[in-house]
Amino acid sequence: MATSTVLFTIILLFHGLSDSTLQVQSLSFGINYGQIANNLPSPSRVAVLLQSLNVSRVKLYDADPNVLQAFSNSDVDFIIGLGNEYLQSMSTDPLTAQSWIQQNVQPYLPQTKITCINVGNEVLGGNDTQLWSYLLPAMQSVYRALVDLGLSKQVAVTTAHSLTILGNSYPPSAGSFRQDLTQYIQPILSFHSQVNSPFLINAYPYFAYKASPSEVSLEYVLFQPNPGMDDSVTNLHYDNMLDAQIDAVYSAIKAMGYSDVEVRISETGWPSKGDANEAGATPENAGIYNGNLMRKIEENKGTPAMPKVPVDIYVFALFNEDLKPGPASERNYGLYYPDGTPVYDIGFQGNLPGVQGNPPGIRGLPQLTFSADSNVNAMSIFNFLILLIVYLLLSAY
């Protein structure tokens, strides 16, 4: 009887610790892997890092063959990018789209899981109005080429937008697109509805805070405790800005007659450094934003207006990119420095081959660090110790 009681206690302990470890390992998220830098680690080393972080989805801004080869036979889903510079030729010549897919997609399937092509980036949020008219025809050309090549059921077609396409975002239920863009967005939404592809948004609460730090609550944009805001039309409560931004986009889409188009966040993040006039760009705030964002991803919940639709989120970005133009913040969105050391602590640590050491703690965040590799090793040791204890107990009795 004593032996049974001891063994039962050990089993309960083992089950509890196993559950806690698996809960940590179960967090998976998407990340943007930009490469506008001259000091980044090789794609093969990055593949190890992302595997240790349990990253399940990666978004590229091109179709870098070195990256796609490095992730061959992995479980990572890829969104690859087709740059804005291709839009004109793709829109006028379908054979150009087919040739691009034959060169940049077909050779890597199925070993590398390319699941989506992002045609252009923030085109409608830019000032090149000529590109606006090229966008949808280019998307259609890429889709037709995928159909002709028998790939349309495994590779989706979409494009990513900035939030500047919204004419109104407050309250979220009154979200609407800019009047000058509706003639372009309406047929794009029709395309998404017909081919069942997602509507991608690059959403940065940081931009709102940077523009009006005296009016926008820092706690509201960092997912910290705050009074939040109530939508006076729907009476829905919002305790963070990202949810409000997402629902504003959903409202804008529904206002144009579409209720079957899913919104996904193709970029969101917070810079750890900025110029003197870039309020809030600190490693502390970046760590809090991304750490709380990870917790939000782990909860796998929707927004107040779409509670049953979990939001697919891609964090921006994997590395700091030293060659990006613009203000200092643009070069400092990375979770990691190019040498593989974390810029700040968001509650876990990956494993880039050849790098050792932990980041300093960040105020307001737990000091738990882990990697998938270290969990496997810890679990192996733990299992061995449990078996050893059981053996010794059985021997004693």
| Crossing angle between the packed helical segments 2-25 and 372-396, to the nearest 10 degrees | 180
Cα–Cα distances in Å, from 285 out to 33, 103, 111, 149, 279? 21, 42, 39, 46, 10
DSSP character string of 113-153: EEEEEEEEES-TTSS-HHHHHHHHHHHHHHHHHHHHTT-TT
Does position 340 have pLDDT exceeding 70, yes or no? yes
Cα–Cα distances in Å, from 69 out to 73, 112, 170, 300? 9, 7, 44, 31
Q: 396 in a domain, yes or no? A: no
Q: 14 in a domain, yes or no? A: no
Beta pairing class for 166-168 and 176-177 = antiparallel
CB within 8 Å of 209: residues ≥ 6 apart: 216, 218, 221, 279, 280
Query: What are 48's two structure tokens?
Result: 């190890």
pLDDT tens digits for range 135-147: 999 999 999 999 9
Furthest CA-CA distance within the chain: 83
Q: At 90, which CATH number? A: 3.20.20.80
Q: 342 in a domain, yes or no? A: yes
Asked if 122 is an active-site residue, the reply is: yes
Q: 251 in a domain, yes or no? A: yes
Q: 135 in a domain, yes or no? A: yes
Tell me which DSSP letter residue 27 carries.
-
Tell me which DSSP letter residue 84 carries.
G
Of 267, 298, 299, 321, the catalytic one is 267
Q: 9 in a domain, yes or no? A: no
Q: What is the pLDDT of residue 387?
A: 53
Would you place residue 31 in the very low, low, confident or very high pLDDT band (cuts 50, 70, 90)? Answer: very high
Segment 343-366 mean pLDDT: 60
* 3-state secondary structure (DSSP) of residue 217: coil
Structural domain tally of the chain? 1
Would you place residue 54 in the very low, low, confident or very high pLDDT band (cuts 50, 70, 90)? Answer: confident
Q: What is the pLDDT of residue 350?
A: 76
State the residue range of the domain holding 183: 28-369
Percent of the chain with pLDDT over 90: 78
Tell me the pTM: 0.84
Top-confidence residue, 176 or 24: 176
Q: 22 in a domain, yes or no? A: no
Does position 363 have pLDDT exceeding 90, yes or no? no
Segment 25-47 mean pLDDT: 89
Q: Which of 392, 345, 394 is nearest to 370 (CA)?
A: 345
Q: 339 in a domain, yes or no? A: yes
Segment 125-132 mean pLDDT: 96
Would you place residue 273 in the very low, low, confident or very high pLDDT band (cuts 50, 70, 90)? Answer: very high
DSSP character string of 280-344: T-SHHHHHHHHHHHHHHHHHT---SS-TTSPPPEEES-SB--TT--SSGGGG---SB-TTS-BSS
Average pLDDT, the chain: 87
Of 122, 262, 284, 321, the catalytic one is 122
pLDDT tens digits for range 55-89: 999 999 999 999 999 999 999 999 999 999 999 99
* 3-state secondary structure (DSSP) of residue 350: coil
